[in-house]
Amino acid sequence: MIVLCRVDHRLLHGQVAFTWTQNVGSNCILIANDAVAKDDLRMTALRVSKPNGVKLVIKSIDNSLKALNSGVTDKYKLMILCESIKDAARLVEGYDKIKSINLGGIKNETGKKQISKAISVNEEEVEILKELNEKGIELEVRMVPDDSKQDVMKLI
């Protein structure tokens, strides 16, 4: 069962590893990202960040979809972490059980507009968010669980 699907450019860090994991009761974290799945150094750093008693799996987007669709993840309270809106959208496209996406941190870069304290998006990402919204996916901004949910569509 998916307990959280989150977009955060930092992937696994203190807020996610401890606050979110405890809040949603996750016992397994899936990092779905093509670049990280090929980078031994980043994988090692992420493994050090995982909380005790929580399984960590790092897979490419395609391999994440294979695992999700095969049912091997069904036994877990699964938190999915994506580095980008585009990655999250690819997961939604290939796996229809993702009903909500939390935007927790997307860094500000040239060509992006800031829509909240920790979220900046470009035009392509705005279009992807609109498409996800049209599919009925809940899109919310919340850095930590105690924050109030903000509807992404009202912010863009």
> Is the distance from CB of 103 to CB of 155 less than 8 angstroms?
no
Q: Is the pLDDT of residue 25 over 90?
A: yes
When pLDDT is cut at 50, 70 and 90, the band that residue 65 belongs to is: very high
> Rounded mean pLDDT of the chain?
96
pLDDT band per the 50, 70, 90 thresholds, residue 15: confident
CATH number of the CATH domain containing 48: 3.40.35.10
From residue 148, give the alpha-carbon distance in Å to each of 2, 4, 140.
Answer: 21, 16, 9
Task: For residue 127, give its domain range.
Answer: 2-155
Strand 100-105 with 78-82, pairing: unpaired
| Rg (the chain; Cα; Å) | 15
Q: Is pLDDT of 99 > 90?
A: yes
Residue 148: its pLDDT value, please? 94
Q: What is the pLDDT of residue 98?
A: 98
Q: Is the pTM higher than 0.85?
A: yes
- The whole-number pLDDT of residue 102 equals 98
Res 16: pLDDT: 87
Say whether pLDDT at 92 is over 90.
yes
Number of domains in the chain: 1
- The residue-averaged pLDDT of 14-21 equals 89
Share of the chain above pLDDT 70, in %: 100
